[in-house]
Each structure stands twice: as structure tokens, then as C-alpha cells.
Amino acid sequence: MKIKCLVVDDEPLAVQLLCDYIEQVPFLTLEKTCYNAMEALDFMHLHKVDLIFLDINMPHITGMAFADLLDKQQKVIFTTAYTQYAIESYEKNAIDYLLKPITFERFMKAITKIIALSKDSSPVTSPSETEADTESVFVKTGKSVVKIDLRQVLFIEGLKDYVIFYIEQEKHIVYKRMKELEDILPEYFHRIHNSYIVNIHTIHKIEDNHIYIHETRLPISEKYRVTFMQIIQQKLL
């Protein structure tokens, strides 16, 4: 089955690159290239497409504004040179958010998400995530060795050679570097900042490039923003 694609971008070189990528994938077919949102709206009035590659910074009508005019079931992949729109893009149920210059490898990762959604629209929990939900660890804190149920950890803060585990009304300071910890934590922990790793199950809200866990407000840095929001997007209903 062919996936019908529409490319909407005011940069000719960006359009050509996406056209070249689409041509290399046998199950993708290019229906139209448009250089502004009005042209795209006119085309979609009479034609249906499965997937839109949509630039954000366009004259007159931005990609974000254009997305608001689309059916909620329309599959969209945003393309842009700027990271600051990542959170807003996933609030609009985008399939993915591609940063320019777009490599073919990154392009194919986005296409893989489309295929996965086509096969099964229901959320899937991987076996490794299920196993991780039951894990506990022992950590040395001060003169004691403490057992920590990782499911109860709200977030982890890094302070040079130490990390702090925040668990509801208590916290534990452990001699460990953030990078070492990041490599061994279960899959439901994600880095959002050089100083913070969060338990995704404890997040209450994401707004203005910050996450909220109870009364705590933590920043999502530009370095981790796109990757983190791709993870969040996979859990959007």
C-alpha cells in the first residue's frame, strides 16, 4: 500500500531534499509540493493525502496555524531548523519533528513511526518496560545502604559527582555521575536537562518548555527537547 505524501515548505532546497527522500522509498508516493499554506489548502480541498511534511516558518500562514486547520486524524511530520517549536508540535499530535538539515536516516525513522501506527494504533508496552516497572535498586547514601523502589522516584538531580533521588517526602544523595546513572536506569526515566532525569510516569503537565511534577517545575533544555518530546508524542492519545 502506497502512502500518499504532500510536501509544504517555502524553501526550494528543502522541498527538493524531501522529494528525493520520498522517491527512494518504494511505498511512498509524492502527490504534490506546495510552497505556502494557501496553496496546500487549495490542493487538499480536492485531494486526500496520508502524510504531510510541513515546514513551520512560512509566510502568511505558519505551519502551526496550518496544522490547526487540518483534520485531527491527518498525519503530519513537522520540518524546521528550530528546536523551540518541539513541544507545540506534539501538542498538535504530530507524528514526528524533523530538524533541518534532515538526514535520510532520520527521515526513515519518522517513516517507521507511520508504518507502526498503520499496523496498530493502540499503545504498546515493551517487555523491557514491563520488567523495569518492578525494579528496585540498593544505593549507598551516607553510612547506610538504602533500597529504592524506582517506580516511586519522582526525578533525579545531578550535582557534579553526586545525584539526588527525590521520592515524595524524602531524598537520597548518592555518589554517582548522571551519565553513569542514565545508562542503567529503566526505560521510563528520561534526561531533560544536564541536571535532571525524570520518571515519565510522575509527570503531571508539560508547558512552556518545563515539566511539572507535583509542585516542582523543571526545565527542558534545548539539548534534550526534541528527543524527549518524541518520547512524549508516542504516548499521546
Per-residue pLDDT of the chain (237 residues; tens, 9 = 90+): 689 999 999 999 999 999 999 999 988 999 999 999 999 999 998 999 999 999 999 988 999 999 989 988 899 999 998 888 777 776 777 888 999 999 999 999 889 888 777 654 444 444 444 444 447 888 887 777 888 899 999 999 999 889 999 998 889 999 888 988 887 888 899 999 999 999 999 999 999 899 999 889 999 999 899 888 888 877 776
CATH code of domain 127-233: 2.40.50.1020
55 neighbors 36 (Cβ within 8 angstroms): no
CATH 2.40.50.1020 in the chain, residues?
127-233
DSSP letter at 107 equals H
| CATH, domain range 3-119 | 3.40.50.2300
Cell of 90: 506534539
- Which part of the chain has CATH 3.40.50.2300? 3-119
pTM above 0.75, yes or no: no
Residue 181 has a CB neighbour count (10 Å cut-off) of 19
